Amino acid sequence: MNRERSQQQFQRALKSIPGGVNSPARAFGAVGGEPIFIQRGEGQFLIDLDGNYFLDFIGSWGPHILGHRHPAVISAIDSALARGTSFGAPTELESELAELVIAAVPSIEKVRMVNSGTEATMSAIRVARGFTGRDKIIKFAGCYHGHVDSLLVKAGSGALTLGVPSSPGVPAGCTADTIVLEFNDPQTLADTFAAHGDKIAAVILEPVVGNMGVVIPQAGFLETCRELCTKHGTVLIFDEVMTGFRLAFGGAQELFGITPDMTTLGKIIGGGLPVGAYGGRADIMAVVSPSGPVYQAGTLSGNPLAMSSGIATLTTLRETKPYATLAAKTEKLCRGLSEAASAVGISHTIPHVGSMFTLFFNPNVVTDNTTAGQSDTKLFARYFWGMIERGVYLPCSQFEANFVSAAHTDGDIETTIAAARAVLATL
């Protein structure tokens, strides 16, 4: 496969951009080699600068549930662009998207638009602290909530160890009130509340984890989170930046029947444009400025292009109801991938929920960050490049979610399984 133009552009980018990329997730550092530069997207395909076509199972890391350049989305963006790009003043589009979100997501009574998932989680944590008057928060190892100082934390040596920064430039004081626990460990969570319950402002988690690969909550874990937060007056925050409008129209909270106090959103609600949102119970959101004292602002929040794209995306999802079909395609793909790996004796596990999945090269069921870390990343890197050579574009890390879109056909699923069968046989 010719990648000459991608290689040339990467060398160009290295001269002006740190590492040649504007997000580390694009750097191919976990798989070796150099990133592929994309020229355009079309439906279920990415086309690179050298004219290579790839079946895309990233979808811009989640937003493109309808596929690239869906006609309704492009038309909405074009119409908005004709009226202007940004006004720094309210538009009716903001209310329209807010109403769509509130109608769909069980936990949200009021919502504030921002520009990214990181802004959404950062703001939700601040609101939870302002609402409760408490400082401590609980997060779970392997759940990524954006590059927020207080959330860039690794687990310490013990389950109750206070977090230490996992990135230079984050002062220790920023993470001193962050407690990091293992996902799917309800007993340790209960013990932590027993020790610190009256000081914990919020528990934040991905209800289905996508940022250490797909990890599914075990029976009772989300229920325990909800019960303990209710008992101790702690704000339960579901980070549904990835799962919102992805697993169901109302997100993971609709799918699992667990209602948090606050929810953060992004990705799909912008239809591929930069967007984020946080919302929740009306009494909690009442503390947000200008209604209340907790300050948060943004010049481009509620940008009309992003709002229009989001409205078109959510409206299309509401009307077409693709979720059962997406889940069926994902199930078929995962079954085929598993059979292909088993046929050549490769240890693996392949958790999937709705249209999200990860093929872990791991003999164990992945339940948390520790078990995810037991995966064979060298084997994954060889699998990744083998699939690239066969025209299938996957996340360039073992520890990321894959996404099926409504644009993928049954034929695309079969093509992907066939490619995987050929690659796995060579590993």
Q: Is 147 exposed, middle or buried (0-12, 13-18, 19+ CB in 10 A)?
A: middle
Which one of the listed residues 56, 177, 185, 239 is annotated catalytic?
A: 239
Q: Answer whether 35's CB lies under 8 Å from 49's CB.
A: no
Q: How far is CA 279 from CA 106, 127, 285, 286, 314, in A?
A: 11, 10, 7, 10, 17
CB atoms within 10 A of CB 149: 16
Q: Answer whether 156's CB lies under 8 Å from 221's CB.
A: no
Closest C-alpha among 395, 407, 419 to residue 336 = 419
Report the chain's terminal Cα–Cα distance, integer Å: 19
Question: Could you write out the three-class secondary structure of 268-319?
Answer: HHHCCCCCEEEEECHHHHCCECCCCCECCCCCCCCCHHHHHHHHHHHHHHHH
Closest C-alpha among 44, 80, 1, 48 to residue 310 = 80
d(CA 395, CA 400): 6
144 catalytic per annotation: yes
393 catalytic per annotation: no
3-class secondary-structure state, position 6: helix
> Which tokens belong to 288?
């947000």
Rg (Cα) of the chain, in Å, rounded? 21
Q: Is 172 exposed, middle or buried (0-12, 13-18, 19+ CB in 10 A)?
A: exposed
Which one of the listed residues 110, 136, 139, 144 is annotated catalytic?
A: 144
Which one of the listed residues 110, 136, 267, 329 is annotated catalytic?
A: 267
d(CA 377, CA 380): 5
Q: Answer whether 124's CB lies under 8 Å from 296's CB.
A: no
295 catalytic per annotation: no
Q: Which amino acid is at 51?
A: G
Supply the residues annotated as catalytic: 144, 239, 267
